[in-house]
Every structure is written in C-alpha cells, then in structure tokens.
C-alpha cells in the first residue's frame, strides 16, 4: 500500500486502548481507538484504516472474530491483529484461520503490536526469541487450554480426557504461563 499506515484500535478497555494509541502516535503512526463494533464500523466508513488491532472479547458479548470478518469486508486489504487476555493455541489457530494476520496475548506493548502488524522490524531480539525453545510449562498450559476448548470449557470432562484429577487441572489452569523462558509461575 502506498498510503501511510493508519491504525484503528478496537478495545473495550479504554485505558489500555488510550495508552496503546498514544504510544503508537509517539512513534509517528496515525492511530485512533474505539470501544466496540458499532464505533469501529463508523470509524472505518469515515476514514478506512490500513491496520486494525482488535480485542478478541469485547464488552457486551461482542466477538472480535466476527467484527474482523465485517471490517475486512468493508476495508479490503485490512491487516488485522487480534489481542486477547485469554490466550491459547486453540483461539490463536481459529483467529488465523478466520483471516487475522497475527495474534498476541495481552498485555502487549506498542513495539510488539507494530512487529505483529509488519510495521516495525524486530531486530536481533526477535531472532533470538524465535531460536529459543518453548518452555515445557508453556507447552503444557497450551495443551490444557486446547483440550479444555475441545470440551467446551467443561473442567470435569477435560480432566477425564487428560487422566488427571479435576482439582489438579484447576490448579494448573490457574497458573498463567510466562511468555518466554524462565521458571513456571507460582
């Protein structure tokens, strides 16, 4: 695209959206934020963005995946990044299958958002992260999330499928994995 990047942030967390937009603007990008699907459609009709950052779970039960489909129909060539506080491999795969260009777990800083949108190079740090193996506790947590999604969030059915006690599964799910290396969270 020959036009300058214009980034639309759609997130029901007003403070997160405001901080992200300010950070993107400080880096020289045109950026604006809206709180939900209706405002996103209005913003796209007024000034079509080149890139969009969508929250996967918007307030009032709105779905970022459904909004992504509508926005991409309204703005052909729109590059979409999905953000979520509920990251798992299952949702990441679903987002990519439905047309998202990338997927990040919250909290994500402006540099990570720009790299995911293809607007900023990651440099040596990103290459080092790609070469580092994924820690076992991260792989385990993601596997648990995938099996849980297969059982529609039913803890008891997931525990049976994994051959573990329900309480053990609940304790493992309560731990949030670290994004990279290091020790598992306590």
> Does 183 have pLDDT greater than 70?
no
Q: What is the pLDDT of residues 80-102, one digit of tens each?
A: 998 887 767 777 777 888 888 88
Chain-centre distance for alpha carbon 66: 14
pLDDT band at 123 (very low <50, low <70, confident <90, very high): very low
Burial of residue 9, with CB atoms counted within 10 A of its CB: 0-12 exposed, 13-18 middle, 19 or more buried = buried
- Looking only at the bridges linking them, the beta strands covering 6-10 and 79-84 are unpaired
Mean pLDDT for all residues in the chain = 81
Q: What is the pLDDT of residue 42?
A: 93
* Strand ranges in the chain using DSSP code E only, listed in sequence order: 6-10, 30-34, 51-55, 79-84, 102-105
- Give the full edge-to-edge strand order of the sheet including 102-105: 30-34, 6-10, 51-55, 79-84, 102-105
The residues, ordered by sequence, that sit 6+ positions from 163 with a Cβ below 8 Å of its Cβ are none
Q: Domains along the chain?
A: 6-123 (3.40.50.2300), 133-174 (1.10.10.60)
The mean-pLDDT minimum among 75-79, 84-88, 130-134, 142-146 falls in 130-134
pTM of full prediction above 0.95: no
């Amino acid at each position: 695209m020959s036009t300058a990047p214009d980034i639309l942030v759609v997130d029901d967390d007003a403070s997160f959206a405001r901080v992200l937009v300010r950070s993107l603007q400080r880096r020289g990008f045109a950026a604006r934020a809206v709180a939900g699907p209706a405002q996103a459609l209005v913003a796209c009709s007024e000034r079509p963005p080149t890139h969009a950052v969508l929250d996967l779970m918007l307030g009032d039960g709105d779905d970022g995946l459904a909004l992504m489909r509508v926005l991409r129909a309204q703005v052909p060539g729109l590059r979409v990044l999905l953000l979520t506080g509920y990251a798992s491999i299952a949702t990441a795969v679903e987002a990519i299958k439905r047309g998202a260009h990338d997927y990040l777990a919250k909290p994500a800083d402006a540099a990570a958002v720009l790299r995911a949108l293809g607007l900023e190079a990651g440099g040596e740090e990103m290459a080092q992260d790609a070469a580092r193996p994924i820690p076992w506790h991260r792989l385990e947590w993601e596997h648990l999330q995938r099996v849980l999604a297969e059982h529609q969030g039913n803890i008891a059915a997931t525990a049976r499928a994994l051959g573990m006690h329900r309480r053990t599964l609940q304790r493992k799910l309560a731990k949030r994995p670290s994004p990279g290396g290091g020790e598992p969270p306590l």
